[in-house]
Amino acid sequence: MSILEPSALAHVPFVSVENMMRLVNDVGVEAFIGELAEYIENDFKRWPEFDKIARVASHSRDGVIELMPVADADYYGFKYVNGHPNNVRDGYQTVTAFGVFSSVATGYPLLLTEMTMLTALRTAATSALVGRYLAPAGADTMALIGNGAQCEFQALAFRTICGIETVRLYDIDPAATAKAAENLKAVGFNVTACETAEAAVEGAQIITTCTADKQYATILTDNMVGAGIHINAIGGDCPGKTELQRDILLRSDIFVEFPPQTRVEGEIQQLDEDHSVTELWQVMRGEVGGRTSDAQITLFDSVGFAIEDFSALRFLLEKTADTDYCVKLDLLADPDDPRDLFGMLRRAAPEAA
Write out the DSSP string of 279-336. Answer: EHHHHHTTSS-S---TT--EEEE----HHHHHHHHHHHHHHHTTSTTSEEEE-S---S
- Name the β-bridge partners of 76: 71, 102
Q: Which residues contact 339 (CB under 8 A, 6 or more apart)?
A: none
What is the tens place of the pLDDT at every residue in 150-198? 999 999 999 999 999 999 999 999 999 999 999 999 999 999 999 999 9
**Confidence band for 216, pLDDT divided at 50, 70 and 90:** low
Question: Is the pLDDT reported for residue 108 higher than 60?
Answer: yes
Considering only 13-17, 38-42, 89-93, 196-200, which range has the smallest mean pLDDT? 89-93
Domains and CATH numbers, the chain: 6-117+307-348 (3.30.1780.10), 127-304 (3.40.50.720)
Q: Which residues contact 302 (CB under 8 A, 6 or more apart)?
A: 123, 126, 127, 130, 232, 233, 234, 237, 256, 257, 266
pTM higher than 0.75 for the full model? yes
φ/ψ bin of 351: left (φ > 0), alpha (ψ from -120 to 50), beta (otherwise): beta
- Name the β-bridge partners of 209: 145, 233
**Confidence band for 8, pLDDT divided at 50, 70 and 90:** low
**Confidence band for 148, pLDDT divided at 50, 70 and 90:** very high
Q: How far apart are CA 221 and CA 244, in angstroms?
A: 6
The H or E element containing residue 154 is helix 151-162
Q: What was the pLDDT predicted at 242?
A: 87
Q: Check if the beta carbon of residue 219 is closer than 8 Å to that of residue 211.
A: yes
Question: Is the pLDDT reported for residue 10 higher than 90?
Answer: no
**Confidence band for 272, pLDDT divided at 50, 70 and 90:** very high
Considering only 3-12, 230-239, 268-277, which range has the smallest mean pLDDT? 3-12
Question: Is the pLDDT reported for residue 290 higher than 60?
Answer: yes
Q: Check if the beta carbon of residue 185 is closer than 8 Å to that of residue 121.
A: no
Q: What was the pLDDT predicted at 254?
A: 98
The phi, psi pair for 97, rounded to 5°, reads -160, 155
Question: Is the pLDDT reported for residue 128 higher than 70?
Answer: yes
Nearest to 293 by CA among 231, 227, 249: 227
Q: What was the pLDDT predicted at 353?
A: 42
Q: What was the pLDDT predicted at 7?
A: 52
Residue 280 corresponds to which amino acid?
L
**Confidence band for 1, pLDDT divided at 50, 70 and 90:** very low
Q: How far apart are CA 342 and CA 71, in angstroms?
A: 32
Residues 336, 341, 342, 343: what is their CA dihedral angle, to the nearest 10 degrees?
0
Q: How far apart are CA 255 and CA 290, in angstroms?
A: 8
Q: What was the pLDDT predicted at 217?
A: 75
Q: What was the pLDDT predicted at 235?
A: 78
Question: Is the pLDDT reported for residue 246 higher than 70?
Answer: yes
Q: How far apart are CA 205 and CA 201, in angstroms?
A: 8
In the chain, % of residues over pLDDT 90: 86
The residue from 43, 171, 237, 309 that is catalytic is 237
Q: What was the pLDDT predicted at 181?
A: 98
Give catalytic status of residue 51 as yes or no.
Answer: no
Q: Give me the chain's average pLDDT, please.
A: 93
